[in-house]
Structure formats: C-alpha cells, structure tokens
Chains A and B, each alone.
Chain A
Amino acid sequence: MSRPRKEIHLAAHFPGVNNTTVWSDPAAGSHIEFDSFRHFARTAERARFDFLFLAEGLRLREQGGEIYDLDVMGRPDTFTVLAALSAVTDRLGLAGTINSTFNEPFEVARQFATLDHLSGGRAAWNVVTSWDAFTGENFRRGGFLAEADRYRRAERFLRAAWTLFDSWRGDEILADKASGRFLTAPGPGAFTHRDDHFDIAGHFPVPRSPQGRPVIFQAGDSNEGREFAAATADAIFSRHGTLEAGKAFYADVKGRLARYGRTPESLKVLPAATFVLGDTDEDARERAAVVRRQQVSGQTAIKLLEQVWNRDLSGYDPDGPLPEEDPRVGTDHIARGRASVRMTRDPLAVARQWRELAAEKNLSIRELMIEVGARQTFVGSPRTVADAIDELVQADASDGFILVPHLTPGGLDVFADTVVPLLQERGAFRTEYSGTTLREHLGLPTS
C-alpha cells in the first residue's frame, strides 16, 4: 500500500504587523531596513525553502479612533522589496500579496512580469481582495466595492492579468543583429479584455517571462474563496494547520479541482504555521509560554478584548476579570483595518464562550487572551517538530507549511539550522534545488 513519500514544501513568511511579531525582545531587529529582508531571505534560501512571502497592508490600523501603537507597524513596498531580494538570492521564490481592489490589472501584470524576468522565474502573487473603504481613503479608487462584489472583481482582475501575461507567446524576440530583425512579427503583446469590471486593450510591454504567469496564491477560506482557489490558484494559503481540520480542508479543496479539469498536484495546500523550538520538548514549552506572554502584554490583552467587545475597555485591569457588560453589536467598529475583526460575526456568542472558559479556569483578561489566541503550531525539540511536520504532510493535512517566525530577522535561523536537516535526512525535503523557477520548486505544471 505504500505510496511514495510526499515532498514537503516550506516557505518563510516575513514577520507581520500584528502581535505575533515580538518587537520587545532584545533580538528583534528592524522590519523596514533592507538588511533584515536580506538576512531573512538568505536564511530561507540556505535552508532550500520554496519561497519567501510578504503580506500586505495599505492603511495603518486604528482602534478607538487612534492609530494602533502596540504592534510592529509599517512596512516597505512589496514589489520593491521582492525585486531587491532577487539580487541577493538565486533560487528562492519571491511571493507577495497584492490587492485587486486598489490596483489596475495592467500595472500589476507589468510589475509581476518584470519581477519574474528580474528573478529568472521566481515570482508569485497572492491575489487578495478588499472592500474596505477605510483603506480606500488612501487611493484614487476609494472604497467603492460592495462586499459581495469582491471575489467577482478579484476573479475578473486575475483573468485580465492572465490575458496580459499570455499576450506574448515567448518566441517574438529574435534580436538578430545581422538581419536587423528585433521582432519576428510586428506588434506583439496585443490584448483586449472586456468584462463588467475592466475594459482594457492595447499592447502589453513586457515580453513573456520565464514562468509565463507568476505562481498564483489564494488565501480565502469561505466557500467562494475555496472555489476561486480551485478554479484559479496554484497554491492556497490556508489557516488549517492541525491534523483533523487540515485533512478536511485539504480533501475539500483538492476535491473541487476535477470540475476544473485539474489534478490534485496542481494546487498546493500550505497552511501558515508558527513554531517555538527548544533543546527538549519541555524547554520548548516553557519558551512558548514566554513568547505568548510577550505577544499578549496586558495592554495588548485589553485591545484584543476591545476588538470583540467593540467598546473602550481602557479602564479595565488586564489582570482582573472580564467586563460584566456585553459586547456592543453594530456595524461601526472600534477597530479598523483588521481582517480578523470583520470575521467576528457573532461577538455575543464569543463573549459567552469566553466567560464560561474564564470562569472554568479562573482566568484574568490577559490569561484568557493568551488562552484563546492562536498558540504556536509547532512547539518542541527539532526532532518533535520535524516529526509533526512530516506526519501532517504525509497524512494529507497539507503539502507543507508557510512558517511565520515571531522574531525579525533572525527568527527563522534556528529552524533552518535544526529542523530542516532532520527533514532532509529522512528524504522529505530537498537538499538542493532541482529547478530554477518557483513553479519547478512547487512541482506545478508549467503555464
């Protein structure tokens, strides 16, 4: 019954602008200066990771009418950083989230095609969509999009971009000095794309890039998001990193592929995962508890609670009990620019559960927020973590993981130095890159 061992895919998520990233640690460095990105990318490439990933945020978050000041905040421009990283790496895939609401297909396609040329075929695009008028205040376009239209626009946007990528076949440039023919035929790159969101036509200026189309990521978790991924994506950035939830998600999205004429291998499922390593499992557990307390300070605990209660709770003691008043339910929200807040659909039910949990375990506000917040996906010795990753992949809970360290820029180093060699030893992870493009690393069909 033995099937061949699945090869694990690993990616590195540059620490983000939320409380997962610990800035108060003495080892925490700049998340803006290029040296941090260079260090992080080189670690990922030294460990033979598939790709590096940069998230996106286009408006500083606010809470209670003020700019949120407790987390790491600010980031450089995704395209610019990825292009600069192409100069200091050779094989590592370079992936970024780029919004389909606050950009135009022509410009984004031109940027990704350029990045793919400059990197020799290593570009990847996580297509996200937003209907957030708050973010829209920073853009010409504004926040014009109705929530129901967001996947429609994303789908149209992606198809428009594909039309542009595919407007060159790849054999148009001859560059033959002797005959004086630069082109095999005049006017390559001609395109027309018309639908209910876009009406564009002309000539795309970037010749076909090494990957043809960049690798496409999708991150949506709703039924619509999963269907969008099954129809269009090469990889899906999932939230389901545990065995049971992972297997269910994996089976669900891979099961949707046949209807689009696609094979299971053509869509990789890559959950985000955090980790804490120690010399022993016990040591790692102790470290993990310290990290959780760093991530959820007393002030942060109050702010996290406010995001569900939708009230100013600044008068509460984080080491004291939960507020007696109920969450305020309404469409205007105390926190702005946060996807997680939009997803809390029923704050009263959440409050009820949390009250029960706090009563049962006798938890303060801060203890409760640590308890209910996302704990680290992998905690243990390098061997324990390597076993867990391999087991989850072999059990079809995922095809690999996108690792999110809690420290910038050195948070990935220990994983690269201790866990990766163990995965390589058992033949579950590459020891050298066999290809040059990200599509090859991910074992995706060429586009």
Chain B
Amino acid sequence: MTPALPHLAVALDGAGWHPAAWREPDARPAELFTAGYWTDLVREAERGALDLVTIEDSFGVGSTQDARVDRVYGRLDATLVAAAVAPRTSAIGLVPTVVATHTEPFHVSKAVASLDYASVGRAGYRVRISTSPAEFAHVGRREAGEVGELLAEAADHVEVVRRLWDSWEDDAEIRDAATGRFVDRSKLHYIDFTGQWFSVKGPSITPRPPQGQPPVVVLAHAAPVYRLAARAADVVLVTPRDPAHATELLAEVRAEELAVGRPTPLHVFGELVVFLDETTAGATGRLARLDERDGGELRSDAAVFAGTVDDLADLLLDLCAAGLTGIRLRPGALPHDLVAVTRGLVPRLQARGSFRRHYTEGTLRARLGLARPANRYAEVTR
C-alpha cells in the first residue's frame, strides 16, 4: 500500500535556503566548496531514507549588483558535486540542477547518463532555464532571450537528452568474438533532431544508462512551465500556499497534461522552506533571528514553515491528502533543518506508518514507481 507520504525529497543549496543560514552555530561555511561537506549532507539525507536530494545550480553567483559581504557567494557545478557524492552513498537519488539555456544537450545527456552509471541507477536532473542577462554575458554566445522562447528551447533540450539516452539499445554491446563485432550497429540510432535552436545527429557516445531514462524534474510556478513539465518531465515541483492551493495547482498541472496529451500523470511534489525546532516558538524565534541578521524578512517563492516536526508532519500529510504525490523540503539552515527532517520528522512519519522505513527499490525510477521504459527506437526497428 502506498504510504500517506509517498515521496520526500530535500533541496540542498549552499548553507541552506536562508541567506543568513551560514552563521548558525552548526553551519560549516568554510567548507561549502569541499566534497566532504556535500557528502555529509547527502549521507544524512540517506539516513532518513529520503527519495532523493536535489542540488541547486545556476550560471551566476547570486547578488553581485549589491555590495553585500554578509551572504554566501559562489557555487560549484552541481552535476560534479553529485558525481563526487555518488560512490560515497548507496541508495538515495541524486538530482543535480542543469541549466538548459547555456549547455549542450549532448554533454548533458552523457553527464547524467554517467552519473547514473556511477550511482548504479540513482541519477536524475532538474532542468531549468536562465533568464539573467548577467548569465548570458558569462557565456557570451548570444543576447538574453524572452522566457517563452527559453522554455521552448529547454523542451527541445530535454527531448535531445532523452533521445540520446535511447540512442543505444540496451543490448547494443554484443562483444561477439565469432563475428569480430563489439556492437550490433543496428541497435545504435541516429537521433536526427532538428529544431529552431540546434540540431543534434547522435548517437550518444555513452550507452543507455542503467535506468534507461533517468527522471527529469522541473520546478514550476506558472502554466507555461507546467506545460514544459507535462511535455518533458517525470516530476514537477510546485509551490502551494496551503492544501487548498495545492488542489488548485494540481488541477492546473493536470490541465496542461491533458493539453499536451501526456499519457501518464506527472509526480507533483509540493515545495516548502522549513525551519524546525522543539517548539513552535523556538522555530519562529530562530527564523526571526536569521531574518534580523540578514536585515529583512526571508523572501521565498515557496511557502515558509517554521514550527515543530509534528506540525510539519501534519501539514505534509494534508498536502498529500490534497493530491500531491510528494514533498521537496528546502532546509532553512544546514545541517540543522536537514537533521531535524531525518531524525525528527521522518521517525514521526514512520511511527504513523506514513513513510517508508527503509529503502527497498534499487533505482530512483523504481522508487518513484516508474517502470524502466522501453527504448523508443527499439520498436521502430523490430
């Protein structure tokens, strides 16, 4: 039976989602650019039997326009951080963020496939666009575009990534000594993608990854992005204010699925920024202290929860009762709010029979209830 909270993910970013998080007593701000820091966080998430961690990324550095020196600044490439964590973990899904706007789909496809090999079936990626003129200037290839076009380009980007994953059939490598052939070339496929922004011939240089198609995730706040998710993704992350709003957002997502003729529903995960403590007053006090340090109230696209793990558990179950299939929590401060999730929230949910006690499935797709898909090219040739 599906538990009441089927899927729980955590979003890792720097020292946490509050700009002043790095000043918390247990924060490790001097280690943000080390493998050890990220490994410890992901292992902590794995301890809580969470489905997956996401790792944020962008082609920018954050706020360079202001003269602040009191916020975390700089970041590492998320896909490579995930790769460095892969051999040091064994079960949790690893979902780095990838910017479609400034990258080659050919490189992205083989990078995520290779993360899937390194993690033996635990890779996915969150695709995003970049709209900031500063980020375009970093790459220098073109002028910043309009959002609709960038979303359409991202849809093509994912399409190419996915076709390349299928460009080798699973049994293409035959090592047939009798005929001297290493591969059966009839099982390698040109993808021949031609679009408005790029053309890609294929096949990939990397064989089909263990999951076949690693899950693709999209964070969405509006209909055009729900549409991108409906076309291209397996999981869409949405930002409900409350359970009733979650129902509304879910209806919007389903409408886009219908509009594009998507055969199976997306996973829809709700987003929450969380500040957790023993008491509600303790948690809100902590958030207030962080806000004061940063000089203003936390601004967030997702709802902010400050309270106890018991109250959070209730809220998450209400959100899932409203139809969401999972939750992605953004810990306000790391490791504090992550540890509160893995050692406070998760045991509470488990005690109620509302969340898995341990990992059972081997791959991220399987954990998300997604079958290993048939290869789109295999049917064509048989």
Chain A residues close to B by CB (< 8 Å): 23-24, 28, 32-34, 38, 57-60, 66-67, 69-77, 79-81, 83-84, 86-88, 102-104, 106-107, 110-111, 113-115, 117-120, 137-142, 173, 175, 177, 180-189, 198-207, 297-300
A74 to B169 CA separation, bound complex (whole angstroms): 13
A88 to B175 CA separation, bound complex (whole angstroms): 29
Closest to B181 in A: A69
Q: Are B137 and A200 in contact (CB under 8 A)?
A: yes
Q: Are B29 and A80 in contact (CB under 8 A)?
A: no
Q: Are A205 and B120 in contact (CB under 8 A)?
A: no
Tell me the B178-195 residues at the A interface (CB within 8 Å): 180-185, 188
Most buried by B among A38, A120, A206: A206
Q: Are B102 and A77 in contact (CB under 8 A)?
A: no
CB distance from B85 to the nearest CB of A (A): 7
Chain B residues within 8 Å of A206, by CB: 33, 74-77
- Chain B 194-238, CB within 8 Å of chain A: the 1/0 string? 000111111101110000000000000000000000000000000
Chain B residues within 8 Å of A23, by CB: 175, 182
Most buried by B among A72, A80, A183: A80
Q: Please tell me the size bucket of the interface on B.
A: 35 or more
Tell me the B232-255 residues at the A interface (CB within 8 Å): none
Quick check: is B377 within 8 A (CB to CB) of the other chain? no
Q: Are A80 and B80 in contact (CB under 8 A)?
A: yes
Chain A residues within 8 Å of B325, by CB: none
Chain B residues within 8 Å of A84, by CB: 83-84, 86-87, 114-115, 118
Segment of B105-113, B340-348, B363-371 engaged in the interface with chain A: B105-113
Instruction: A67-B188, A88-B87, A106-B59 are known; give 4 further A-B pairs, CB within 8 A.
Output: A106-B140, A137-B199, A138-B200, A180-B293
Q: Are B80 and A114 in contact (CB under 8 A)?
A: yes
Q: Are A77 and B87 in contact (CB under 8 A)?
A: no
Chain B residues within 8 Å of A188, by CB: 73-74
Most buried by A among B30, B69, B113: B69
Chain B residues close to A by CB (< 8 Å): 22-23, 27, 29-30, 33-35, 39, 58-61, 64, 66-77, 79-81, 83-88, 102-104, 106-107, 110-111, 113-115, 117-118, 120, 134-135, 137-141, 168, 173, 175, 177, 180-185, 188, 197-203, 205-207, 293
Chain B residues within 8 Å of A76, by CB: 110, 113-114, 117-118, 206
Chain B residues within 8 Å of A24, by CB: 175, 177, 180
Q: Are A32 and B188 in contact (CB under 8 A)?
A: no
Q: Are B138 and A83 in contact (CB under 8 A)?
A: no
Given A104-B102, A200-B140, does the pair A186, B182 have CB atoms closer than 8 Å? Answer: no
A300 to B180 CA separation, bound complex (whole angstroms): 8
CB distance from B123 to the nearest CB of A (A): 9
Chain A residues within 8 Å of B83, by CB: 79-81, 83-84
- Choose among A115, A173, A202 the residue that contacts B137 (Cβ–Cβ < 8 A): A202
CB distance from B10 to the nearest CB of A (A): 20
Smallest CB-CB A-B distances: 7 pairs: A83-B83, A76-B114, A80-B114, A175-B29, A200-B140, A137-B201, A84-B118
Chain A residues within 8 Å of B27, by CB: 177
Chain B residues within 8 Å of A138, by CB: 106, 200-202
Chain A residues within 8 Å of B66, by CB: 186
Chain B residues within 8 Å of A33, by CB: 117
Q: Are A72 and B33 in contact (CB under 8 A)?
A: no
A142 to B81 CA separation, bound complex (whole angstroms): 29
A204 to B60 CA separation, bound complex (whole angstroms): 8
A206 to B81 CA separation, bound complex (whole angstroms): 13
Q: Are B74 and A189 in contact (CB under 8 A)?
A: yes
A117 to B115 CA separation, bound complex (whole angstroms): 18
14 A-B pairs within 8 Å (CB atoms) are namely: A58-B205, A69-B184, A70-B180, A73-B182, A84-B118, A87-B39, A87-B84, A103-B104, A103-B107, A113-B76, A118-B80, A142-B199, A177-B29, A203-B61
Chain A residues within 8 Å of B293, by CB: 180
A299 to B102 CA separation, bound complex (whole angstroms): 43
Chain A residues within 8 Å of B120, by CB: 34
- Choose among B33, B69, B201 the residue that contacts A117 (Cβ–Cβ < 8 A): B33
Q: Are B188 and A182 in contact (CB under 8 A)?
A: no
Chain B residues within 8 Å of A200, by CB: 137-140
Chain A residues within 8 Å of B85, by CB: 87
A114 to B141 CA separation, bound complex (whole angstroms): 22
Chain A residues within 8 Å of B180, by CB: 24, 70, 297-300
CB distance from B380 to the nearest CB of A (A): 17
A175 to B20 CA separation, bound complex (whole angstroms): 11
Chain A residues within 8 Å of B197, by CB: 140
Q: Are B182 and A79 in contact (CB under 8 A)?
A: no
A140 to B156 CA separation, bound complex (whole angstroms): 12
Closest to A86 in B: B84
Q: Are A83 and B205 in contact (CB under 8 A)?
A: no
- Choose among B79, B104, B113 the residue that contacts A102 (Cβ–Cβ < 8 A): B104
Chain A residues within 8 Å of B141, by CB: 104
CB distance from A38 to the nearest CB of B (A): 7
Q: Are B76 and A114 in contact (CB under 8 A)?
A: yes
A34 to B206 CA separation, bound complex (whole angstroms): 13
CB distance from B58 to the nearest CB of A (A): 8
Chain A residues within 8 Å of B77, by CB: 79, 110-111, 114, 206
Chain A residues within 8 Å of B58, by CB: 205
A361 to B242 CA separation, bound complex (whole angstroms): 85
A24 to B179 CA separation, bound complex (whole angstroms): 11
Chain B residues within 8 Å of A175, by CB: 22, 29-30
Chain B residues within 8 Å of A298, by CB: 180
Q: Are A32 and B181 in contact (CB under 8 A)?
A: no
Chain A residues within 8 Å of B201, by CB: 59, 137-138
A75 to B182 CA separation, bound complex (whole angstroms): 13
Given A67-B185, A72-B182, A118-B76, does the pair A77, B111 have CB atoms closer than 8 Å? Answer: yes
Q: Are B68 and A186 in contact (CB under 8 A)?
A: yes
Most buried by A among B22, B33, B64, B68: B33
Chain A residues within 8 Å of B64, by CB: 187, 202-203
Closest to A57 in B: B205
CB distance from B201 to the nearest CB of A (A): 4
A66 to B182 CA separation, bound complex (whole angstroms): 14
Closest to B88 in A: A87
CB distance from A201 to the nearest CB of B (A): 5
Given A77-B114, A81-B114, does the pair A106, B138 have CB atoms closer than 8 Å? Answer: yes
A200 to B59 CA separation, bound complex (whole angstroms): 13
Chain A residues within 8 Å of B35, by CB: 86-87, 117-120
Given A173-B30, A202-B138, does the pair A74, B168 have CB atoms closer than 8 Å? Answer: yes
- Choose among A67, A77, A119, A137 the residue that contacts B206 (Cβ–Cβ < 8 A): A77
CB distance from A29 to the nearest CB of B (A): 11
CB distance from A83 to the nearest CB of B (A): 4
Q: Are A205 and B29 in contact (CB under 8 A)?
A: no
Closest to A26 in B: B177
A87 to B87 CA separation, bound complex (whole angstroms): 6
Given A80-B111, A138-B106, does the pair A34, B118 have CB atoms closer than 8 Å? Answer: yes
A84 to B103 CA separation, bound complex (whole angstroms): 21
Given A87-B86, A200-B139, does the pair A182, B80 have CB atoms closer than 8 Å? Answer: no
